[in-house]
Amino acid sequence: MRKPVPTEPTAKLPLTVEQYSSEKKLPLDYLTKEWGLKNVQRGGVCCVEQPYTRMDGEVCAPRYRYANAKQSPYNSGDHIILYGQKQLISPEGSTCILVEGESDTQTLHHSRYNVLGVPGTSMWDKCISNDPDIIDFLAFKTVIIIQEPPSLAEKAKGLDSAAKMVTKIKENLPLSTVVAVRLWEFAPKDSDGEPLYKDVSGLWIHYGGLPGFSRFMDALHIASRAAGKKGTEEVEWRKFFHTISELDQGEMKQLVKGFLPEGVTFLGSLSGVGKTWLALSLARALALQKPFLGVYEVTEQHNVLYLVPEMGSRALRSRAEKMGLPDDDRFRCQTLKDGVLALDSPQMLAAIDELKPVIFLDTAIRFTAGVEENSSSANASGLANAVFSLLRRGAPAVVCNHHSPKAAGDADFMTLENVLRGTGDFGAMCDAVWGVQHARKAGDKDYQQESSDLTRLSVRCVKPRDFEPVDPFIIQGRPHIDEVGDFRVIMAGDFNAQTAGNSDDTAKLTISRMVEENPQVSLKALMRATGRHNTTVKRLAGELELRQSDAGWIKSESSENAY
């Protein structure tokens, strides 16, 4: 709780970002990194500087927040604009919320809403005068105004500055659908009959911040629905709801037939299994318009943006060069060196506008900035909103790598529940989910270890939305990625490489030929040539009565005679 405010208007009380974060129940990292809040000294008093930046990146006048006051810099009238332009979640979205003040803007943005803040009820005219482009930006959108009640002082004078601002906004936005939402009308009352909250920030604090997220959302929706009913006659709702004949026609577009539909696709596996290799193979197929894994048809060429903030640039370059990925605009990437790029950043939006790329997020959870790390529901909601914005902007598909729960290692059969870690909301947002695990055989631990050593992966679709997926398949990375730059499919549907030129008999012929040509041939070379694990190579060699010695490969019955 803040201390009582002195009556003298010049007595400004200090406030720090840390205090502000605690009071508003918003994460400190979110406020400092997303909004640039910082502690500054003004006139010997600590206060919070809140930067204002246009959508085009131009820095405007900040606002300073004290414990008992807000203030703009002296003589900054020509640089006052709407707050939150740089941080807009989805500038191209059809809806934008207008609130009064910075904390309301930060709170709704934290909940992944498109929101802008008016610095004060008397500042609307100044904001649009300084930044007339904002009128064009809001044109044809549904603009929801969170209208605050008049203060006690205003009531005593018969004034209502918030209602006056709503009227002005409606006048200035004739091409927009403007709806005023009054949260306080639905708030519980205190002993004096006053609402316990009057604005968005107050509602968020009332329900305890993130732990009360669902109740916060419920309260917002109740007030919004009521406002919608009041303004139904003036809202052109048919622009936002479609008849069947207005919807797009045709089957779901397939970028890779039976594997990658348009929309959102997740690849889920335990850490270290090989999903990044698989994702790079998919990126290679799209960028070069070559059959995925040499088998599955790529319908057309697509540029790729591959974002992998957990991998160093040297490691990614090594993999990319090994797989023959193109070194041009068909494949662009970011790595650990670049950090995590905000998915709504100007750079990302510009890249989508020009390249129309398929976007890979590896791993997806790293792109949920400003959300509590341990809140899987909030993570899923934040990621879904960000990914859907990329699709609306023009990306044909977004591929997300995601970890499986630890229990997946013991599962005999892959399902949606054991392929994606966290809430079921991750699965709900997807058009396709593919589970990836080391190939295994019941009761055969050696085979599973061999799969780990050879990056032999079992891949199965655990969620296809409105398309027929390809049959489950098994692929092998070693030695094929080193030799030909991609996985080899060793089992898919009725096809089985073990019975199609890669049987034990074929492998034994390869071993026999190579040993005859060079008795000192290494075990590793035989593994690469046969695509088998070292234990399997030794077993097959044993069946040929061969064993390895210091002198090379020799016949078992006579360790004296080299083969």
Which of 458, 457, 439 has the alpha carbon at shortest distance from 448?
439
Q: How far apart are CA 114 and CA 105, in angstroms?
A: 9
C-beta separation of 197 from 203 below 8 A? yes
Q: Which residue is listed with tokens 């900035």? A: 369
Which H helix or E strand runs over 119?
Answer: none
Which of 462, 357, 475 has the alpha carbon at shortest distance from 413?
462
pTM summary value: 0.54
Helix (H, G, I), strand (E, B) or coil at 147: coil
Residue 231: its pLDDT value, please?
A: 53
Phi first, then psi, for residue 332 (nearest 5°) are -125, 150
For residues 211, 217, 222, 228, the Cα torsion angle rounded to the nearest 10 degrees is: 160
Q: How far apart are CA 558 and CA 460, in angstroms?
A: 48
The DSSP symbol for 441 reads B
C-beta separation of 226 from 186 below 8 A? yes
Q: For residues 465-493, b (16+ Cβ closer than 10 Å) or e, as one string? A: eebebbebbbbbbbbbbeeeebbbbbbbe
Q: How far apart are CA 63 and CA 77, in angstroms?
A: 12
Q: How far apart are CA 70 and CA 201, in angstroms?
A: 16
Q: How far apart are CA 415 and CA 460, in angstroms?
A: 9
Neighbours of 327 (CB within 10 A): 11
Residue 495: its pLDDT value, please?
A: 55
Six token digits for residue 527: 């593994």
In 165-227, the DSSP E strands lie at 177-181
Q: Which domains, and CATH codes, for the chain?
A: 76-239 (3.40.1360.10), 254-494 (3.40.50.300), 504-555 (1.10.10)
Q: How far apart are CA 101 and CA 103, in angstroms?
A: 6
Q: Judging by DSSP bridges, how do beta strands 397-403 and 432-438 pair with one another?
A: unpaired
Residue 384: its pLDDT value, please?
A: 85
Q: How far apart are CA 144 and CA 405, in angstroms?
A: 40
Q: How far apart are CA 434 and CA 459, in angstroms?
A: 7
- The neighbouring-strand residues paired with 461 are 434
Counting Cα atoms < 13 Å in the Cβ hemisphere of 333 gives: 26
Q: How far apart are CA 278 and CA 170, in angstroms?
A: 52
Residue 447: its pLDDT value, please?
A: 85
C-beta separation of 335 from 316 below 8 A? yes
DSSP H helix total and E strand total for the chain: 20, 22
Q: Report H helices in 439-518.
A: 445-454, 480-484, 504-517
List Cβ<8 Å contacts ≥24 apart for 413-418. Answer: 414/458, 414/460, 414/462, 415/462, 416/462, 416/463
Cα–Cα separations (whole angstroms), residue 160 to 69, 150, 193? 20, 5, 19
Q: What is the pLDDT along the chain (563 residues), one digit of tens a residue?
A: 444 544 445 689 999 999 999 999 999 999 999 999 999 999 899 999 999 999 988 999 999 999 999 998 888 888 899 999 999 998 888 899 999 999 999 999 999 999 999 998 889 999 999 999 999 999 989 999 999 998 888 888 888 999 999 999 999 998 888 999 999 888 998 888 889 999 999 999 999 988 888 888 888 888 888 876 665 445 566 777 888 888 888 888 999 999 999 999 999 999 999 999 999 999 999 999 999 998 899 999 999 999 999 999 999 999 999 999 999 999 999 999 998 988 888 899 899 999 999 999 998 988 875 444 445 555 666 788 889 889 988 999 999 999 988 877 777 788 888 898 876 677 888 999 999 999 988 878 888 888 999 999 999 999 999 899 999 999 999 889 988 999 999 887 655 555 444 567 778 888 888 888 898 988 878 877 777 767 778 888 888 888 888 888 888 764 444 44
